[in-house]
Structure 1
Amino acid sequence: MSAVLQLKYFFEKYGFHVSSRLADKLGMRVTSVRLFFIYITFVTAGLWFGVYLTLAFWIRLKDLVRAKRTSVFDL
């Protein structure tokens, strides 16, 4: 069996067990817990992208407000 398939089976066997145990402890369905983890992954990735765009906008706005002048006669 190839190494990729062995790795896949390892994560399927032990990785999904975490969701199962958490769902049993919380009294929820396993699919709900897995969907929650998927949604949280997308939200956190999207959140940091939004922070990046906001900071880029602020820097651009700062550069537009504070124009760089090389001498006194540029006024």
Structure 2
Amino acid sequence: MIQRILTFFERYSFGVCTYLGERFNISIAKIRLFFIYTSFLSVGFPLIFYFFAGIVLDFRNYIKRLRSRVTDL
């Protein structure tokens, strides 16, 4: 049951923790824990950053897909 919940969130999340972990060569689990703990301490401010970063990453992926379609022509 727990594994199903984890796979659901990993599949449908924005991928911000994965991107930051690969970018800075840090464990993804540590970044997730950082977001969780700081959310409790600062009343949700990191969640605002997380959603903003997710939107930016989705926009970047959208631009990359458009560029690849143009170059395929």
Same topology, TM > 0.5: no
TM-score normalised by L of structure 2: 0.43
TM-score normalised by L of structure 1: 0.42
Greater C-alpha Rg: 1
